Structure 1
Amino acid sequence: MTEKPADGGAQTEEAAASGRRPEREPGSPSGAEAVRRERGREPDDRSRYEDDEYGHEDDDRRDRWRDDDHEYRTPEPPGSGVRPRRVRRFRLAAWVMLILAAVVVGVSVVWVNGPPTEAELREKAGLFNKERLRIGVKSDTPGIALQEQGGRRIFEGFDIQIAYMVAADLGFPPDKVDFLAIETEDRARMQALDDNGRFVKVDLVVATFSVTPARKADPSVGFSTPYLFTEQSVVTTSDHPGSITSLGQLEGKKVCTLGTSTSESELSRATRAVITGKNLLSDCVQGLKDGEFDAVTTDAALLAGFVAQSDGKLRHHDIALEKTEMWAVNVGSNNALRTLVDLSLYRSYADPHDQRWEQAYRTHLDPLLSASPRVNVAQAEQPCALPPPVRRWPWERTLPVQECPSR
């Protein structure tokens, strides 16, 4: 048996056979320290944090060394297969850059190929450098659009407030808006009379213009999303016997309505009444009062104002038609302008803080309801509006999107 050297540097036969590491005598240097001493240098603080008694790295002690604000970092042992930290960081940075590049490319594609921005729509609509906005409106319908006959001859009514709302969103304050009286037959042509009595082209028509399939097929008509729902009704003098509950009861009667209107078409299909078409509803109502006509029929929202101002001389009848009259803005063939009008109506509908439509209804239509009991004059909620195709960043899309029921 070989004797164990005094310095403990050799293994015993038993230890060698078992494969165990020899126990180190207390106070004897570690393997790494012994190598350093053989090379003629003493171990420093780093070695104490770096190797355990078998020459292995001690993670806890190494971390304590790093926490002591030392600059030393244990080098990776050669051939260990562990990648340096800087390589891993470089790879992570590369992946981040690739992801960001993909996002930028995707956003750029959507931005370039997506719908136009609001500013681009304004340019396409011809609103840049435009000083004033011309809007064709009715002038003889109380509660909807009525022009004063004296003084400043200003316009007021529900349609007027809707027109102001849309104009403001297009960038035109009230003092930059010109209202021109437009007759029923000229709404599709968008021709209105100016102060000199000449027909001029208007930019918008906000004049109780109902949406129909035939009108939508007309290339000169471009309807916005609807801004009011109403229905057809009938007005007679208050001494008319009984109630009128259908257009069929007007058989053989002299009935006045607006020419080229949806009411005239409906009346012609329902009965063989003696129909007179007028350009102005006020002419029909005056003829009714004078005994020239037995009844007047058109949209309930148009007739309610005349009934309210009649001091009980006129009577409003609900004729129970299922068809809904949907009033919309006509912008003609200017598609960019139509999208901007739709955007204004969508914001008014979807934004709970935007109360302009509700204020217009409370101010001009609510006061008319008491004079027309049991008649659905107009729905008290703005018709549902969907967001038009306008390019916006995700954080700009703050308004809710709701499904609109089909009509």
Structure 2
Amino acid sequence: MRITRTARVGVAALALAFAATACGGDEATSASSSAESGKLTVGIKFDQPGLGLRTPDGSFSGFDVEVAKYVAGKLGVTPENITFKESPSAQRETLIENGEVDYIVATYSITDARKEKVDFAGPYFVAGQSLLVADGNTDITGPESLSGGKRLCSVSGSTPAQKVKDQYAQDVQLQEFDTYSACVEALRNGAVDAVTTDDIILAGYAAQYPGELKVVGEPFTEERYGIGLAKGDDETRTKINDAIDAMIEDGSWQKAFEDTVGPSGYPLPAQPTVDRY
């Protein structure tokens, strides 16, 4: 069958259009572009009391949730136009890289390894790694006391458990689950001896099970929580950094902390300084 010049031009134009769509562009990976449409998809944790928790009625509460909503507001998006998406630790970079979320506010520590895949605004909070144990436990007082083959639980895709093994207790038995709530259940059932992650996360679980669980020892790392977004989305990163600064300056940061984390007894920390790298 003979193909006319007009047909060939049409086919070529379609091919170019398809290629452009498939490859995408800066706009396709920009959270600012999503905000201009009036809607945002934001990644949070669904199982962290005081930080990111999905409640039985389907609503969301916690400090990370309040930070996410404040930032969205500064980007021009109202709370009812935010879709919250669960973002387990091991999936956070993938969710951002695949464009499934516009940004992530999920106790997401800024590390050099992660910055190879995604960008960060912030930090909006600085925490420290600690340990959660049963209330009656007197053997575990810090990371050094985990030696002797004690069973330690943390989450796949996070670094706390391996840090304990590498730096403090080489013979500790590591168990990794998908979520910290699963680790906490293992601790409550006696399947593990301790759970490790950041102190602010553990304080929420201790408050959820008063008289049953407790946080022990002093924090032994510094964890700078950032808001993760697509690599190279400099425009949005600047806007989010501005939003974090504004939240701190106008008192909303402190109020959000006191309303969400404060009831756990976790003390109000120093306000973070945004790193505009």
Partner of 1:383: 272
Q: Give, in angstroms, the shift of residue 379 of structure 1.
A: 4.9
The aligned counterpart of 2:50 is 143
2:15 corresponds to: none
Gaps of 5+ in 2: 1-29
How far apart are the structure 2 equivalents of 1:314 and 1:348?
32
Q: How far does the alpha carbon of each residue in 1:373-397 deviate from its partner, in whole angstroms, 9 at most, with x for none? A: xxxx5652320236x69xxxxxxxx
Quote how far apart the aligned CAs of 1:279 are: 1.4
- In the aligned structure 2, how far is the partner of 1:232 from the partner of 1:343? 27
Deviation at 1:282, TM superposition (A): 0.3
Identity of aligned residues (%): 28
Aligned to 1:156: 61
* Structure 1 residues 108-147: aligned runs within 5 Å: 125-127=32-34, 129-147=36-54
Deviation per residue, 1:280-310 (Å, 9 max, x gap): 1000000101111011111011111110121
> 1:209 touches 1:330 (CA, 8 Å); kept in 2?
yes
Are 2:253 and 1:357 aligned? Answer: yes
Change (3 A) 1:310 1:168: same
Q: Residue 210 of structure 1 contacts residue 262 of structure 1 at CA under 8 Å; is this kept in 2?
A: no
Alpha-carbon deviation of 1:263? Answer: 0.7
How far residue 128 of structure 1 moved from its aligned partner, in angstroms, is 6.2
Aligned-residue offset at 1:319: 4.0
2:269 partner SS: coil
CA distance in 2, matches of 1:262, 1:378: 24
8 A Cα contact 2:31 2:102, kept in partner: no
**1:259 counterpart residue number:** 156
Structure 1 stretches of 4+ moved >2 Å: 377-382
Higher relative contact order (CA 8 A, sep 6+): 2
- Once residues 136 and 65 of structure 2 are traced to their aligned partners in structure 1, the CA distance between those partners, rounded to angstroms, is 33
SS in structure 2 of the partner of residue 264 of structure 1: helix
User: Are 1:171 and 2:76 an aligned pair?
Assistant: yes
Equivalent runs, 1:14-163 vs 2, <5 Å: 125-127=32-34, 129-149=36-56, 151=57, 153-163=58-68
Could you tell me which of 204, 215, 219 is aligned with 1:305? 204
Matched, 1:276 2:183: no
The structure with more radius of gyration: 1
Name the one with the larger helix percent: 2
Give the conservation status (yes or no) of the 8 Å contact 1:231–1:378. no
**Higher strand proportion:** 2
Q: How does 1:212-223 map to 2 (within 5 A)?
A: 212-216=111-115, 218=116, 220-223=117-120
Structure-2 residue corresponding to 1:93: none
Specify every segment of 5 or more residues in structure 1 that has no aligned partner in the other structure, as ranges. 1-122, 193-198, 370-376, 390-407
Q: What one-letter code is carried by the residue in structure 1 that aligns with 2:91?
A: D
Partners of 1:293 and 1:279 lie apart in 2 by 15
Residue by residue over 1:68-90, the C-alpha shift from the partner in whole angstroms, topping out at 9 and shown as x without a partner, is xxxxxxxxxxxxxxxxxxxxxxx
Task: Give the alignment's Cα RMSD to 1 decimal.
Answer: 2.2
Deviation of 1:317 (Å): 0.5
